[in-house]
Amino acid sequence: MKVMTAAKASGSFAAVLDEVERGETIMVTRGGRRIAVIAPAPTARGRMVKAFLARSAGMLDAGFEADVAKAREMADPAGGRT
């Protein structure tokens, strides 16, 4: 994990975002203390889980289908309306 001061991150924010987009995680410090972590958004994994749940729901018993519905709600409480 790369470490960067808040001043440096602020002064080169576009470059910071470029690094994060390439998969880098950056710890931001201020006065020697950790104040933030900037990391890539976990969108791909979420899409994969949602796709798996959508494919699996009709193939399994009714109890499991209810569990899948509950997992979908937990993964996306807005129901795709974000």
In whole angstroms, what is the distance from residue 60 CA to residue 76 CA?
Answer: 21
Tell me: pLDDT of 81 over 80.
no
| Class of 2-38 in CATH | alpha beta
In whole angstroms, what is the distance from residue 44 CA to residue 64 CA?
Answer: 24
pLDDT, tens only, 42-56: 766 777 777 887 887
Pairing verdict, β 33-38 and 26-30: antiparallel
Say whether pTM exceeds 0.75. no
Angle of helix 62-75 relative to helix 43-56, nearest 10 degrees? Answer: 160
Residue ranges covered by each domain of the chain = 2-38, 43-75
Tell me: pLDDT of 82 over 60.
no
Note the maximum CA span of the chain.
Answer: 56
